Structure formats: structure tokens, C-alpha cells
């Protein structure tokens, strides 16, 4: 059964729409400017370059909240935490990557691993990170269907 590409649940508190009922989120949204206010000019340039990279994959929504900037396709595929001199980007994949660039991996469910990478310059937005972000974007775009498809692909590649 094909899943709808449109969000199906509206939070009664903040009015934002989500793909799943009772989706965990922050109702406290802020402006992008306030989220980037304490960051260095270089960090702001990195963030804007990151948005340009993601736009290459397709449409997405950036939702600045009190603690991070959540990036959504159909569902959340990444989150950006702004620091004065760097950005941390956490992106969701259906598999776990073991790589020196990845500072932390958190398994949120059997099919969702959040990988965190630190961005200190625009050079960090290289082809490797772009590939990981493209994969995360596809996971977010397809929602649960994408997670199942990716898992099937992994199974087919194992043997």
C-alpha cells in the first residue's frame, strides 16, 4: 500500500503537521535568525551551504525550534544543533555507519540510527557527507516505507 506523501496528523498545541499521530516534537518554534544569532558568520555560511546541498535532493522544510533546526522531507531526516563555532548535524539512516567522521551514533529504533557529524567549515560538506545526507533525505521522504525498502536492500546485499 502506497503511503501518502502528505502529513496526516496536526499537533493540537502548535498546529504543525506530521506523518504520524502524536509525533514527538517541540512546539516552541523560533526564527532561523534567532537560532543563528549567537553563531559566528562562518557557522551561518555553513548552515546556508548545508541548506543548498539538501535542496539538490528535493523539497524539504527547516523548522527552527528552541534547541535545534529540524529538517523534514515527509518525516524528519536530520537535525542541526547550532554552536558558536560549529554545527552538529544528526541524520537518520536505517543502518549504522562506523566511520571516524561520525562522532556519535544513537539507535532510536530497530530501523533508525542517528549519526552525528560536526561541521566546522563548508569543506566538511564533501561528497561523502552529501551521500549520507541524500540517503537520510530518502529515508525521511519515504517515511516508514523507506525504512522497509532500505532494510530489504541491505538484506539483499548481504549474501
Give the H or E element holding residue 134. Answer: helix 127-142
pLDDT at 46: 98
The span from the CA of 71 to the CA of 54, in Å, is 9
pLDDT digits (tens, 9 = 90+) for 9-47: 666 666 656 555 655 556 667 688 988 998 999 999 999
Give the H or E element holding residue 129. Answer: helix 127-142
Please tell me the chain's helix, strand, coil percentages from 3-state DSSP, rounded to the nearest 5.
Answer: 35, 30, 40
- Taking CA atoms, 54 is separated from 13, 90, 135, in Å, by 29, 14, 11
pLDDT digits (tens, 9 = 90+) for 72-103: 998 889 999 999 999 999 999 999 999 999 99
Three-class DSSP category at 25 = coil
pLDDT at 27: 63
Amino acid at each position: 500500500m502506497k503511503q501518502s506523501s502528505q502529513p496526516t496528523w496536526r499537533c493540537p498545541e502548535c498546529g504543525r503537521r506530521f506523518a504520524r499521530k502524536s509525533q514527538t516534537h517541540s512546539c516552541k518554534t523560533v526564527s532561523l535568525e534567532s537560532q543563528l544569532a549567537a553563531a559566528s558568520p562562518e557557522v551561518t555560511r555553513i548552515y546556508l551551504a548545508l541548506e543548498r546541498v539538501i535542496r539538490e535532493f528535493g523539497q524539504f522544510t527547516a523548522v527552527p525550534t528552541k534547541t535545534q533546526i529540524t529538517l523534514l522531507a515527509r518525516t524528519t531526516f536530520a537535525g542541526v544543533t547550532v554552536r558558536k563555532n560549529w554545527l552538529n548535524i544528526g541524520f537518520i539512516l536505517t543502518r549504522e555507519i562506523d566511520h571516524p567522521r561520525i562522532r556519535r551514533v544513537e539507535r532510536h529504533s530497530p530501523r533508525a540510527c542517528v549519526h552525528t557529524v560536526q561541521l566546522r567549515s563548508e569543506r566538511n560538506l564533501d561528497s561523502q557527507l552529501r551521500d549520507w545526507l541524500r540517503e537520510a533525505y530518502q529515508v525521511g521522504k519515504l517515511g516508514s516505507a523507506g525504512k522497509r525498502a532500505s532494510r530489504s536492500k541491505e538484506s539483499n546485499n548481504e549474501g
